A and B are shown apart, each in its own frame.
Chain A
């Protein structure tokens, strides 16, 4: 029994590892040069602020050590053919592999912040994205964990975090909520505050959707240590002569337009379907929803199944989830695949 896991992020790794515990052979096909996905770039992860890097490191190690797991990096699937019961997959590096089932764990892509030009990303150097902020917060990152402004290398003391960038916006065709940016932004705000007590962090939000267990408590803690929350969607960022960024929003709770001046502005970008979504949908002949993410056969009853037998989905490929839910997904898809394979082999 052999399963192809496409995408070596935390979902893919955890899935492969779980299946390997059932003695099922898995091949992880990862497009980039290194497995681990996005989480390996996070110094701390919410809600418990443990190290994301270490979490991934451990996962990678167990995958590499497992005799049941083969990792193929710098590779992806370019074509699949269904045989009677199995699939033959052609990979971009020329390899051809035969597998019984395929699990897609290609994850998500962050929103391209230049698509909301009003925030000045790519025009004003002191406007960065949350992904960049993650690397600024990383002690092993380019700034050694310091918040240094790209324009002049000065330590940023006043930071604005703008929520819902690329989400909840019909104008750019993303009406959905990305679900976790409220939480990760709050996490980042806390990290900034904890690294530097004097730093002032202001979050511009529309609704705080810290929905998970322990998430709301994290929000409360952030407020207690002095992170400011202003309810209003930011309309525009502009640059002042000294490189500071002026942010305009309405404080909707007071009903007054406000203009704040900040050293650094971070855009909490939302999720987009993974870059290859369209291509993958074509290769596997499976459907995507209006939001571009992949559709399962039935959200409630068959959350991992697709319209094609033997092709499964897990992790943030069906919509952004926190790490915790990706792990859950990995384990539950494993259960589903084990039962699928058992069925498949019983009938042989």
Chain B
């Protein structure tokens, strides 16, 4: 390798067309838009699970009152607001937007628009067809399921090492047995149960199977099927997918990463201990100190991705069927929320905290 690669300044990577940030930006971490006022008067920027009935009403009324264009416009205007900090651009509003009812509403609407604009890809067509077919058809045709089961001799080598089997009411061997049985009712029942959602997706089983089966892959495929069919909402663990769709899905869609560093909030991660709290109360300082870019342009932990990169990825996820799946999860959740007479925001908070 003789060609020397062009290096970018990992810490301060400016986007084209932007003036290079000066060295002297402020020392003080820029604050987001009037964060105090927003939190009190605009509950749609709240991530608290224990919102009052009244607040929830306010959220819905506000969000329902916005047109698609408005909500998208407000979101991006807020998102793109930047200020100089420690020699780089800091985007102070990212921290109020992420994971809020506001962002979720924006995503719902924006994704609908994307789906309309770019149409159905061949992948989406396949999934739409699969939805109408029996589960057994899926097992024989879905790319992952199809390669995951040759034949199971029920030896239990998979279960022996399975961390989920050790602590939960779960047994991958029995799942493989059920799948092998090709009984539509039994499989449907499995898809509606909590069982498939217990798997840790660790892959310990895959290494050990003497028949070269792959319970790890099979379970992953069954979970997709459960969601495509809308069966996941029948179980507590399954309907958590609605929270996952907005947690990981929201991160991907808006920040091109599945996990965003602000997700590890102190109040939801008490088990991480007091040092975590010390650290996360001033995470921007510590991130910056070691050369990362919290909510900044730049590579390391930046998560403020280049607009074109984000656009490419969104196109890929749309073509790859993710938006179709998310829409599905959304619809199933909405239906269940309506049936239980709660708002979708309340539903979100409920599935994220029950279990």
Contact = CB atoms under 8 A, between A and B. Distances in A.
B160 A236 contact: yes
A74 to B, nearest CB: 39
Interface stretch (A47-55, A168-176, A322-330): A168-176
A252 interface: yes
A230 to B, nearest CB: 10
Contacts of A255: 159, 171, 173-174
Contact of B155 (A233, A248, A256): A233
B contact residues, range: 20 to 34
Interface stretch (B187-195, B205-213, B217-225): B205-213
A265 interface: no
A250 B156 contact: yes
B212 A206 contact: no
Contact of B211 (A170, A234, A252, A256): A170
B299 to A, nearest CB: 39
| Most A Cβ at <10 Å: residue of B155, B165, B209, B212 | B155
Contacts of A258: 160
Given A235-B161, A257-B159, A169 B210 contact: yes
B59 interface: no
Interface string B126-163: 00000000000000000000000010011111111110
A232 B155 contact: yes
Contact of B212 (A170, A236, A257): A170
A251 B212 CA distance: 20
A206 B209 CA distance: 13
A168 B154 CA distance: 12
Given A168-B153, A257-B159, 13 more contacts: A170-B211, A232-B155, A233-B160, A233-B210, A236-B208, A248-B160, A250-B156, A250-B158, A250-B165, A252-B154, A255-B171, A257-B156, A257-B165
Nearest to A232: B156
Nearest to B211: A170
A235 B210 contact: no
| Most A Cβ at <10 Å: residue of B156, B162, B209, B210 | B156
A251 B166 CA distance: 12
A258 B160 CA distance: 7
| Most A Cβ at <10 Å: residue of B150, B159, B166 | B159
Interface in B174-212: 174, 208-212
A249 interface: yes
Given A233-B155, A233-B156, A248 B211 contact: no
Interface of B: 150, 153-162, 165-166, 171, 173-174, 208-212
Contacts, number: 66
Interface string A29-55: 000000000000000000000000000
A309 interface: no
Nearest to B209: A171
Nearest to B159: A250
A118 interface: yes
Interface residues of A, number: 22
20 contacts: A170-B150, A170-B211, A232-B155, A232-B157, A233-B156, A233-B160, A235-B157, A235-B158, A235-B160, A236-B160, A248-B160, A249-B157, A250-B160, A251-B156, A252-B154, A255-B171, A255-B174, A257-B156, A257-B159, A257-B165
Given A170-B211, A170-B212, A255-B171, A234 B160 contact: yes
Contacts of A249: 156-157, 160
Contact of A235 (B150, B154, B171, B208): B208
A250 B153 CA distance: 13
Q: Closest 7 A-B residue pairs measured CB to CB?
A: A250-B156, A235-B160, A233-B155, A250-B159, A169-B210, A232-B156, A252-B156
A247 to B, nearest CB: 9
Contacts of B208: 118, 235-236
B67 to A, nearest CB: 55
| Most B Cβ at <10 Å: residue of A169, A170, A250 | A250
A164 B211 CA distance: 13
B319 to A, nearest CB: 36
Contact of A252 (B155, B162, B209): B155
Given A234-B160, A250-B160, A255-B174, A206 B211 contact: no
A234 B157 contact: yes
Contact of B173 (A118, A169, A170, A250): A250
Contacts of A170: 150, 210-212
B331 to A, nearest CB: 36
B290 to A, nearest CB: 37
Contacts of A235: 157-158, 160-161, 208
A248 B153 CA distance: 18
Interface in A199-247: 206, 231-236
Nearest to A207: B153
A255 B172 CA distance: 10
Contacts of B211: 170
A33 B209 CA distance: 40
A234 B173 CA distance: 14
B180 to A, nearest CB: 14
A169 B211 CA distance: 6
Interface in A87-132: 118
Nearest to B210: A169
